[in-house]
Structure 1
């Protein structure tokens, strides 16, 4: 095999696992709370690895160094914002109230470089199709929007209509891709025999026929077969 292919293969593998390690160390906030700074950091990190891999004059150790150094800088920034509260507004940004008491704050829109069409698009992403429904709208640092509707347009709760609350349970996946998920089944407090009995009640004798099955306390077993 050509030495260039061997070197490229080694560098790709090293770069892949280095990036995987960095994402594990930095945590889920890099995805779930992606700020503009995080977005740029991810782009630069990917560009560093890409350039290092495809530059013949740069070896695998430079790939590791680039990923480690950039990852360390991002990690230090994360630690800084956790330890020193005053740095958060500069490094992470602040939420902005763009609709207050049902009125659009034009100055906040202008400050955050939003126009009315972009605001309407953000509202529609939250299933709000008219600004008249909104009491407060907050633009989060990651660019998403949080909405507090006016009471006339808000979904009533059980407390509003004097209904007694009921217990809430998480659904449990017991079969996935034709295989029993034993950990979930045991955690739910049921046995394999119980599961087979539930399947038999719905005319299924072979677990392999089941693409997905979900158990919810107080409800029947939900089954989705391959066909």
Structure 2
């Protein structure tokens, strides 16, 4: 039977090894995972999990298994970036399941998706009738992209002949009572300006602020701690 100390050491080593492997392979959201990515993650987890509780497997074996799998995954990532053909084989390609308002039965059968599933995906995009859709594309990760018919598209400033407005990103200045100084520099303001704005709102310490957000030409958004 394995010693608890040995299990602990192997868990810690496995944890950090997986952490660094994830950093090396890059950031991918769960919604962006391809079927191959998902299966690879399961297999890697099984390799580490089984190795931890096998008394015949040592730490260096865990590191070796993670390293080999990491090299294979990294090599595949490089190949998919360099080769369009290999990328198509590994990741697949998007499929147009609705074309000019008409469902493409062949593409739906090819991608193993029925009408109920298609309706569900379209409702998640905020459209509740097929007559609203001009094109729908089933992406390689299983999500769907929708182009509604012109009558159902949202109105833009250009449609109303309104002048363009400069787009600016909001910047978080305070989170959980802590001032984020890097973001102050990003916004082009300083701590004195921030504290003055807080005092104008009858707040005398950043610790009393749960969340504060700055956006150019708009009032500072402040949410107090409960």
* Shorter-chain TM-score range: over 0.9
| Equivalences for residues 18-29 of structure 1 within 5 A | 18-29=17-28
| Equivalences for residues 127-146 of structure 1 within 5 A | 127-146=126-145
Q: Provide the TM-score with structure 1 as the length reference.
A: 0.96
| Equivalences for residues 78-227 of structure 1 within 5 A | 78-227=77-226
Over residues 154-206 of structure 1, what are the superposed CA-to-partner deviations in whole Å (9 max), with x where a residue is unaligned?
10111111111100111111111111111111221111111111001111112
The answer to whether the 8 A contact 2:2-2:55 is kept is no
Q: Which runs of at least 4 in structure 1 moved beyond 4 Å after TM superposition?
A: none
Counterpart-to-counterpart distance in 2, 1:201 and 1:30: 40
The answer to whether the 8 A contact 2:139-2:145 is kept is yes
Superposition CA RMSD, Å: 1.3
The answer to whether the 8 A contact 1:139-1:146 is kept is yes
Q: Can you give the 5+ residue segments of structure 1 that lack an aligned partner in the other structure?
A: none
The answer to whether the 8 A contact 1:23-1:30 is kept is no
Q: Can you give the 5+ residue segments of structure 2 that lack an aligned partner in the other structure?
A: none
Counterpart-to-counterpart distance in 1, 2:27 and 2:139: 17
Counterpart-to-counterpart distance in 1, 2:96 and 2:31: 21
Over residues 43-98 of structure 1, what are the superposed CA-to-partner deviations in whole Å (9 max), with x where a residue is unaligned?
11111110111111111111111111111111111111111211111111010000
Question: In the superposition, relative to structure 1, how do residues 30 and 41 fare at CA in structure 2: closer, same or farther (>3 Å)?
Answer: farther
Count of residue correspondences: 226
Counterpart-to-counterpart distance in 2, 1:188 and 1:29: 28
Counterpart-to-counterpart distance in 1, 2:73 and 2:29: 10
The answer to whether the 8 A contact 2:33-2:141 is kept is yes
Please state whether the residue corresponding to 2:213 is helix, strand or coil.
Answer: strand
